[in-house]
A and B are shown apart, each in its own frame.
Chain A
Amino acid sequence: MIRLAFDVQLAQGSFTLDVADEAEVEVLGVYGPSGSGKTSLLEVIAGLRVPRSGAVSVGGEVLADTSSGIHLPPYRRHVGYVPQDGALFPHLDARRNVMYGSDTRLPTADSRLDPAHICATLDIAQLLDRRVGDLSGGERQRVAIARALVSSPRILLLDEPLTGIDRGRKDRILPYLLRIRRELHVPLVYVTHDARELVDIADRVLRLEDGRLADAGVPGVVLGQTVADERL
């Protein structure tokens, strides 16, 4: 559990993002169609994008606050970020990808977050000597998540972790995501345009529409209708 608070205003061309939320979260789901501002929100929390105005804090620590000129760079935030296709470094093998952030681990990092345990939890130990190009979509995603976890983030941002992975494989990866929550105790922000994924994993859901917060609450209430509609 971690307290995640943000109040973010962002303008980019004709697109504007204006979203605020504050809650103790284990898994915060962010749901919305493409173009609704989900990825922009993650980038602001990770520090990759400077909001026009607003503030972000994780676990009580202020990471950004435009009113007092605070903007911690991404490398000082300890916020893990896994973009949509994982973005594994193509010139490094899986092991060196996973270990990239190992020397900047927090000294207080939980022993559950040591690299060997992470690799075992995500079941990637046997993939470590492979080249990135030789990994399947699902394997890449797990390696990318392991890489983010090894840097001992206080919170992990996942951008559409299951998009582009076929249904059969999705069902095999979801348990790993649940393991991050249950066994490694790393809080997640989970972004997706597939409501069904969130019903299984999230404890709170934000629904974005055109850069605005349309609804927030427990997944069954926020997404119940959407999921029911999709099943028809």
Chain B
Amino acid sequence: MEQTTFALAAFTTLMGVCATLVAMPVGVAAAWVLARRSFPGKVVVETTLTLPLVLPPVATGFLLLQLFGLNSIVGRALDAIGLPIVFTWRAVVVAMAVMSFPLIVLTARAGLEQVDRRYEQVASTLGAGPWRVFRTITLPLAARSLVAAAILGFARALGEFGATIIIAGGIPGQTQTLSVAIFNLTEAGRDSDATRLLLVSAGLAFGAMILANLVQRERRPL
């Protein structure tokens, strides 16, 4: 049975939201470490974290398949506790999260670096420990960039194709996202259906990018 356009758009959006929720905390933590700490090998960590940005998405998908497939310890362990990844909706989330992660780290890091460290220093002399300083000073002052990071990550997730098709397979009604459906329809020569999905896809991406730009344009703290 074929999915309606609405169901496809809703599924893709939901997966994108889940992926953003997964990638954001890790991404912001990584961005904070890169923005505020120096340690040996930092350049290697930086490069590794942003690698999915330049690696072919299909290659990233292949790596994820090796990591989460049933031939790996991780994959078998997750399968044993009833959380199989490959060819399930979870694989869609994993693929989207990994692919949007670098964008989130880069945007969040730029935002965190803009926060004047003196505010953090003064807060610490007022008795605030590192976690309280982060929550009450750094986070609110970087809020605009962090929201923009989340939206950019979400927009990237919506368009994810290469890694998704490898690890999630694009099963209609189960793991098929908008971009995978466009690919399937084009393959089947159904150009007008593909065009309809293209417009939906473009609309979602356009909306997300406008929002990201609006959030970032203002200087005032959120």
Contacts and interface: CB of A to CB of B under 8 A. Distances in A.
**Which of under 10, 10 to 19, 20 to 34, or 35 or more describes the interface residues of B?**
10 to 19
Interface string A45-80: 011100000000000000000000000011101111
A48 B125 contact: yes
Given A83-B118, A87-B119, A74 B124 contact: yes
Contacts of A82: 122
Interface stretch (B30-38, B67-75, B86-94, B126-134): B126-134
Given A83-B118, A87-B118, A148 B127 contact: no
Contacts of B123: 89, 100
A91 B125 contact: no
B contact face: mostly helix, strand, loop, or mixed? helix
Interface residues of A, number: 25
A147 B126 contact: yes
B182 interface: no
B112 to A, nearest CB: 15
Contacts of A77: 125
Interface of A: prevailing SS: loop
A81 B126 CA distance: 8
Given A81-B122, A83-B118, A87-B119, A75 B221 contact: no
A104 interface: yes
B119 A46 contact: no
B137 interface: yes
A90 interface: yes
A105 B127 CA distance: 8
A147 B129 CA distance: 17
A151 B129 CA distance: 14
A105 to B, nearest CB: 8
B127 A151 contact: yes
A90 B123 CA distance: 12
Counting chain A CB atoms within 10 Å of each CB, the highest count among B116, B127, B136 belongs to: B127
Given A87-B119, A89-B119, A91-B221, A75 B141 contact: no
B119 to A, nearest CB: 6
Interface string A151-189: 100000000000000000000000000000000000000
A149 B37 CA distance: 30
B121 interface: yes
A220 interface: no
Contacts of A75: 124-129
Contacts of A48: 121, 124-125
Interface string A134-151: 000000000000011001
A81 B125 contact: yes
Nearest to A77: B125
Interface string A79-97: 1111100010111000000
Contact of A74 (B116, B119, B125, B140): B125
14 contacts: A48-B121, A73-B124, A74-B121, A75-B127, A79-B125, A81-B121, A81-B122, A82-B122, A83-B122, A87-B116, A91-B141, A91-B221, A100-B128, A151-B126
Given A80-B126, A90-B221, 12 more contacts: A48-B125, A74-B121, A74-B124, A75-B125, A78-B127, A82-B122, A83-B122, A87-B116, A89-B123, A89-B137, A101-B126, A101-B128
Interface of A: 46-48, 73-75, 77-83, 87, 89-91, 100-101, 103-105, 147-148, 151
